[in-house]
């Protein structure tokens, strides 16, 4: 991690707030994270209800919901974290309208495709590799986590994906650690994540129980609970549910599984357009 690449962003001259941050849920896997002077967008998807995405191999899916915010109304974004190159995570509207100079942190597979589409500031990561982003007196370390989008042969046919750890730091301490699962299933390497990156403050868990040809390719309720038990975050927020017709595990099933597992005190739920405000742990 010491040899990680570094990206330096311009500052706005305002003092940096390391005490509180917020998470705004746009829909599907798209959130706006604001903390330590950074504004980060994840998996941008701004299609509307009734519009279709193409997931490859003849599979299409209709969106059931609308985004809580339009692409044109986004605040200034410092960087995008993209888990993989599927149209429900980077859609045709985003491809047409997104600023080509905006840094996008993603897999090498997605990076190659984005560069061909004219995006100039793509940052590709291998699993466990880290990119440092510096803005004033704050540092954001984005590290690629292992992920598997599907079992066996199907997994090999789907786009490679990554989870992400976002570590927000000052020169003196690590202030806040966020995990984003991406469209992974729980897999054999999953326990390595909390072993290498313990004390996760907040985890965003992609659910939905998405099925392709009847085969599970994103976590359902049972796997989502298992992921929380393995990661042991202080707080977990489910996202990526109920938005597309390929999602077969409703959020209500996850809520019941959370209660059955006795994890109610660790899980918070957001509707489209909700904001979750958090406080960073107090440093010693």
Three-state SS at 164: strand
SS (H, E, C) 7-38: EEECCCCCCCCCCEEEEEEEECCEEEEEECCE
Residues contacting 127, CB < 8 A, separation 6+: 144, 145, 146, 162
The residues with which 19 forms a beta bridge, in sequence order, are none
pLDDT in tens, 188-207: 999 999 999 999 999 999 99
Cβ burial of 172 (10 Å; 0-12, 13-18, 19+) is exposed
Structure confidence at residue 172 (pLDDT): 66
Using a cut of 0.75, tell me whether the model's pTM lies above it.
yes
pLDDT in tens, 107-142: 999 999 999 999 999 999 999 999 999 998 899 999
Structure confidence at residue 3 (pLDDT): 53
In this structure, the chain runs to a length of 284
Question: Which segments of the chain have a pLDDT < 70?
Answer: 1-4, 56-58, 171-172, 283-284
For the chain, domains (ranges, CATH) are: 22-270 (3.60.15.10)
Structure confidence at residue 58 (pLDDT): 65
């Amino acid at each position: 991690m010491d040899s990680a690449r570094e990206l330096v962003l311009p500052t706005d001259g305002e003092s940096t707030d390391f005490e509180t941050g917020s998470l705004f849920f746009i829909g599907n896997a798209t959130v706006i994270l604001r903390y330590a002077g950074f504004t980060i967008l994840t998996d941008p998807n701004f299609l509307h209800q009734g519009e279709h995405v193409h997931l490859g191999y003849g599979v299409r899916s209709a969106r059931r919901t609308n985004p809580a915010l339009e692409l044109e109304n986004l605040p200034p974004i410092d960087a995008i974290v993209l888990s993989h190159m599927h149209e429900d995570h980077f859609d045709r509207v985003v491809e047409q309208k997104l600023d080509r100079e905006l840094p996008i942190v993603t897999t090498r597979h997605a990076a190659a495709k984005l560069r061909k589409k004219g995006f100039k500031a793509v940052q590709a990561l291998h699993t466990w590799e880290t990119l440092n982003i510096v803005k004033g007196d704050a540092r954001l370390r984005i590290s690629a986590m292992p992920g598997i989008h599907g079992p066996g042969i199907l997994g090999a046919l789907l786009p490679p994906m990554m989870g992400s750890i976002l570590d927000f730091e000052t020169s003196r301490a690590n202030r806040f650690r966020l995990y984003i699962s991406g469209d992974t299933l729980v897999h054999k390497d999953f326990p390595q994540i909390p072993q290498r990156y313990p004390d996760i403050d907040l985890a965003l868990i992609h659910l939905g129980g998405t099925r392709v040809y009847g085969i599970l390719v994103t976590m359902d309720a049972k796997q989502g609970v298992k992921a929380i038990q393995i990661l042991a975050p202080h707080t977990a927020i489910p996202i990526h549910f109920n938005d597309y017709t390929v999602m077969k595990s409703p959020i209500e099933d996850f809520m019941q599984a959370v209660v059955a597992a006795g994890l109610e005190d660790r899980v918070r739920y957001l509707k489209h357009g909700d904001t979750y405000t958090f406080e960073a742990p107090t440093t010693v």
